[in-house]
A = this chain, B = another copy of it.
């Protein structure tokens, strides 16, 4: 016969004197004069497997309330394998000092949608955070505390993501992410939005339009070009390769002479892709100014996106806005679905056309 020596091993003396440890289901049970299992049943409001009388139920609820009982999420998760917690992981700080680059607009939607679905958010700060414990290797494994995790930013560690996807851990990337097979993501519909901008120009009467883009192959760029071309096609305009001006350094290559040449050829409108630097748009605006032209009188300009932060407002550029909060909400919806084991898919989120003052009817030419 073995004497169990109850609770002798790890006498959990409160580390801090005076701190009352959180009440457990066991305490609630004692107070209500029932078993721990009953407490669990009452509190989880399960109808299967057992029935509880209203009177007992009430006693348990009262006891729980009076003790201020709150379930231990770790234990719940361990037992039930879920937590009602969604992770938000960004490799860079979620709240950078420079608000301009922050994920704030996305989080607005993420928070709202998560709250609406009864999830709380856990922010996992990427390993890159300055200060002490930088680059902890476990940063990514901690993520699994949540039921699923949202990844933000282009620096998400591919290898680890792959693993999680392979393990079936629910993961969603905010922003297009095709290269990672099986990684669910939500993104904005740059194609349609770009086509719409072209449609707008076409409706104003423009017949020859040129796209100015940088020389890289990010999906964001490719999508815009595709939308641009589709837009031309839809408007019945010509869309040969000469309609796209691609340059590694648009600010140098897009000279006023070049611009004039296009105008002489009958081009009346230009669209620039949006990038984080805004180089294409800057180049375009710069060249117009240098050439002594004015917009929208001499030519129309449009931006396939939103103007860079430092250029906001001044001349209101025609283009489209990315509905970041909606994107965040869509990501949460998708993630929640995957947590629930569904194979849901979120459609691309539509961008909003933003009329501006940089486009107008093409100038009359003899």
Given known A-B contacts A22-B167, A115-B129, A141 and B108 have beta carbons under 8 A apart = no
B-chain residues with CB within 8 Å of residue A72 when the two chains form the complex: 78, 144-145
User: A122 to B125, Cβ gap below 8 A?
Assistant: no
User: B167 to A68, Cβ gap below 8 A?
Assistant: yes
Residues 276-304 of chain A: 1 if any B CB is under 8 Å from the residue's CB, otherwise 0? 00000000000000000000000000000
B-chain residues with CB within 8 Å of residue A75 when the two chains form the complex: 74, 78
Residues 166-206 of chain A: 1 if any B CB is under 8 Å from the residue's CB, otherwise 0? 11110000000000000000000000000000000000000
User: B12 to A141, Cβ gap below 8 A?
Assistant: no
Q: Name which of A13-21, A34-42, A223-231, A305-313 contacts chain B.
A: A13-21
* In the complex, A96 has a CB within 8 A of chain B: yes
User: B144 to A115, Cβ gap below 8 A?
Assistant: no
Which chain B residue shows the least CB distance to A132? B116
User: A163 to B123, Cβ gap below 8 A?
Assistant: no
User: A142 to B116, Cβ gap below 8 A?
Assistant: no
A82 to chain B, nearest CB (A): 9
User: A12 to B125, Cβ gap below 8 A?
Assistant: no
24 A–B contacts from the bound complex (CB under 8 Å):
A16-B168, A20-B166, A22-B144, A22-B167, A69-B141, A70-B138, A70-B143, A73-B83, A73-B144, A74-B74, A74-B77, A74-B78, A78-B78, A93-B111, A95-B110, A97-B325, A112-B129, A114-B125, A115-B131, A116-B130, A116-B133, A118-B132, A120-B142, A121-B123
Which 6 residue pairs are nearest across A and B when measured between Cβ atoms? A19-B168, A116-B131, A16-B341, A74-B77, A115-B129, A115-B125
